[in-house]
Each structure stands twice: as C-alpha cells, then as structure tokens.
C-alpha cells in the first residue's frame, strides 16, 4: 500500500535521474539547514561542495554513499543516505480541526504496515520488551520530556508544554520566559495523573501513542484516551504476538 502510494507520488512529481546503468525517479529539493546541521559538523558543512541537493526516492532504491548520479545533465555524488521511515498515525488537528482525521488509515491498515516492514516489527517488539523491564513513572499526567527538556511557543507568544499540548498556556507578552518556564510550566508538567484515567494499568502503553497532547488534539482535553490510538495498540499487540509477553507495570504508588 505504502509502496503504491510512493510510486504514484514519484511518478507524478518526481524527475528522472540515472545512477550507473539504472534509471530512477526522485524528488529533488533544497536540503533544509536543520537537516544539514544534523548530518554534518559545522567544519564539514563548510567544506562541502556546492550546490547541494536532497533527493527523495522509493524505499526500494538503494543509493549508497559515494554513488554518482546524473540529473538534469549534471553529475552529483551521494554524501549521505538516510533510512526510509514513516509514521502511519495521523493525529487530530489543532483547535479541533477535523480534516486530518478524514485522511487517516484504518487501525487495521496501520498495523498491516508494521507487519510489512520486518525491521519495524522487530523494533516494536524489542522496545516493548525493554520497557517492560523499565516501567515508566506514571504518577504524573505527563510522562515524557515536555516541560523538562522542551517547550513550545506559538506565533502569538503562548508558551505551552509541547506543540500538541497547547493548553494551558502562558502568555509571554504579559510575563517573562523565566516565570513561564520555572513556575507555570512546572505546575502543568507535574500535575498528578488521575486514578480514574482509562489507561491506568494498561499493558499496551508502550505500543500506544496515547498522551495528554494527543487527547487534546482529538477531544480538546488532556484526560481520557484516544479510541483510534487505543485500537491500534491492541491490534499491534496481537499482530506482534505479544499477548503472552511480560506486562508493563504502572507506578501509581505516589497517588
């Protein structure tokens, strides 16, 4: 399914290029500065030949480093190849915008994609097993790095925990970042989890993308669970044959 979509997309928007005796199609674009800074040190970046182009190709196409390819009559050398990755779960839109949900794959299709990529299935299993032995402290509503190592500021100066969890927010036009970060966000970040939360004790949390931010996008509040994500997690657990694997244990003793 994914390959069909990508091939259709490349046929429509891609351009032909040649690598050795083989002809392919790819989408050429200017590599974003953030990608270049992630791939290369400042010194290496300064020494790279120009112009630089990035090319997106089908996941079946292999272009190892140093491959020479010809595009629009000029030759280029591959400096770095990145692994093909995808995320099949489309989250809800900001401010209850419904349209993204209409583009979603069904939970069954999402899990089918996990199975079509053996490396992906193996990584899910390994991650589940690893986290089963290292339970996450679920005594707080938020259990990720939001408010600890990251934050989000929208174009109106509203400071919030992350780009998904926009509520509550602190207005930086009426206060300082220090006040917002050290006091306001700290309180939001360390609010306790509810004892009645539907995900308490669920052994499939590791396989699930549920979090307060996802819940805000789906239903407008931080509590509860997103049914779409819940169904995917349960289907994934069965598809990966994890039903008899060790359970993830919640630490709710602090409540």
Which residue ranges make up the site for ligand SF4 (CB under 6 A)? 198-199, 202, 204-205, 208, 210, 225, 229-230, 233-234
Q: How far is the CB of 228 from ligand SF4 (least distance, A)?
A: 9
Can you list the alpha helix ranges (DSSP code H) found in 157-252?
177-179, 186-189, 212-219, 227-239
Distance from C-alpha of 251 to C-alpha of 1, rounded to nearest angstrom:
39
Q: Which CB atom, from 10 or from 230, has the smaller least distance to ligand SF4?
A: 230
Distance from C-alpha of 221 to C-alpha of 17, rounded to nearest angstrom:
49
Q: Which CB atom, from 24 or from 204, has the smaller least distance to ligand SF4?
A: 204
Q: How far is the CB of 13 from ligand SF4 (least distance, A)?
A: 36
Q: Which CB atom, from 166 or from 234, has the smaller least distance to ligand SF4?
A: 234
170-171 and 22-29 beta bridge pairing: unpaired
Q: Which CB atom, from 185 or from 229, has the smaller least distance to ligand SF4?
A: 229
Q: How far is the CB of 230 from ligand SF4 (least distance, A)?
A: 3
- The answer to whether the CB of 191 falls within 8 A of the CB of 185 is no
In angstroms, the Cα distances linking 47 to 38, 41, 50 are 15, 10, 9
- The answer to whether the CB of 245 falls within 8 A of the CB of 132 is yes
Q: How far is the CB of 214 from ligand SF4 (least distance, A)?
A: 9
Strands of 130-201, DSSP E: 152-153, 158-160, 170-171
Q: Which CB atom, from 70 or from 209, has the smaller least distance to ligand SF4?
A: 209
Q: How far is the CB of 19 from ligand SF4 (least distance, A)?
A: 43
First to last CA, the chain: 45
Q: Which CB atom, from 2 or from 144, has the smaller least distance to ligand SF4?
A: 144
Distance from C-alpha of 7 to C-alpha of 14, rounded to nearest angstrom:
9
Q: How far is the CB of 246 from ligand SF4 (least distance, A)?
A: 16
In angstroms, the Cα distances linking 34 to 41, 92, 162 are 12, 26, 19
Q: Which CB atom, from 160 or from 205, has the smaller least distance to ligand SF4?
A: 205
Q: How far is the CB of 58 from ligand SF4 (least distance, A)?
A: 33
């Amino acid at each position: 399914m994914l390959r069909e979509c990508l091939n259709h997309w490349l046929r429509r928007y891609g351009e032909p290029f040649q690598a050795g005796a083989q002809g392919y199609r790819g989408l050429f674009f200017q590599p974003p500065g953030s990608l270049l800074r992630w791939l290369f040190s400042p010194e290496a970046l300064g020494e790279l030949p120009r112009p630089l182009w990035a090319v997106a190709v089908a996941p079946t196409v292999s272009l190892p480093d140093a491959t020479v390819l010809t595009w629009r009559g000029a030759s280029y050398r591959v400096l770095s190849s990145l692994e093909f990755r995808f995320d099949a779960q489309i989250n809800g839109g900001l401010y209850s915008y419904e349209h993204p949900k209409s583009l979603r794959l069904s939970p069954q299709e999402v899990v089918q994609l996990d199975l079509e990529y053996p490396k992906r299935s193996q990584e899910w299993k390994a991650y589940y097993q690893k986290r089963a032995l290292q339970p996450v402290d679920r005594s707080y509503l938020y259990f990720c790095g939001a408010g600890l190592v990251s934050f989000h500021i929208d174009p109106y100066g509203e400071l919030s925990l992350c780009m998904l969890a926009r509520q509550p927010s602190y207005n930086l036009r009426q206060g300082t970042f220090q006040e917002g970060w050290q006091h306001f966000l700290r309180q939001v970040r360390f609010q306790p989890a509810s004892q009645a939360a539907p995900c308490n004790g669920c052994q499939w949390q590791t396989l699930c993308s549920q979090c307060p931010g996802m819940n805000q996008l789906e239903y407008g509040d931080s509590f509860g669970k997103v049914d779409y994500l819940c169904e995917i997690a349960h289907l994934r657990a069965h598809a990966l044959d994890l039903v008899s694997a060790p359970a993830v244990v919640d630490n709710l003793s602090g409540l």
